[in-house]
Amino acid sequence: MKQLCSRPPFHYLILLIAIILSITIFVSRHCDAAELDNGSAYRVTYAQGTVFLTCQGFYNGQYIVLRRNLLCQDSFANPAAFARFTHAGSRATKVSLTNTSAGNISKTKDFSPERGESQNFNLLIRTLFQQPLLVPGNNLLSYKLLLPDNSVEQQGIFEVRVDTDQRYCPNWFMNSPNLNDCQYGSPFVCDEYFRQSRCL
């Protein structure tokens, strides 16, 4: 008796491969749906330099000249210091992000299900009243998409990398018609310094 061939026809193999690829692509897209719109890699450049400032003007009817050396410091984030959390196909109205790599820093923002994105999160700016969500190095972020009743619709984790570098800018000579710039200093002087020196 002639033995039947157990191998499936070639077109069935093609169909099976197509199904596997489709499932793989779907799962990959589903897993990658939660992310920041500016990507998962950031670089913060910390810059500093010295300005030799000369101020000239009138004080009590006399024309005087003052001089002051200012150490200017600033930072620049690439591609951005802020980002929106994006996730397609959600009905959530809020999203909470927690950085489990940095003492569980947590921030919650409104989320638009129509656009599939949140309000901007402060990722890298530190001020007296603001704390950034990210720290240098690898950041493991957990997210929770919250429905109007604060129940959790979806949750998960994703990773963001922050690299840093230091830039030393050239010394710069500047003039100002405002005596207060030399007496008290001014952030506008440093802004102008970085603009003129093209250090940032």
- At 84-109, the pLDDT tens digits run 999 999 999 999 999 999 899 999 99
- At 146-175, the pLDDT tens digits run 999 999 999 999 999 999 999 999 999 999
What whole-number distance in Å separates Cα of residue 136 and Cα of residue 122? 14
Cα angle, residue 199 at apex, residues 197 and 200 outer, rounded to 5° = 125
Report the CATH fold assignment for 10-41+83-163. Immunoglobulin-like (2.60.40)
The CA-atom distances, in angstroms, between 33 and each of 12, 70, 130, 180 are 31, 47, 28, 52
pLDDT at residue number 14: 57
The pTM of the full predicted model, rounded to 2 decimals, is 0.72
Where are the CATH 2.60.40 domain residues in the chain? 10-41+83-163
Q: Is there a contact between 44 and 75 (Cβ–Cβ < 8 Å)?
A: yes
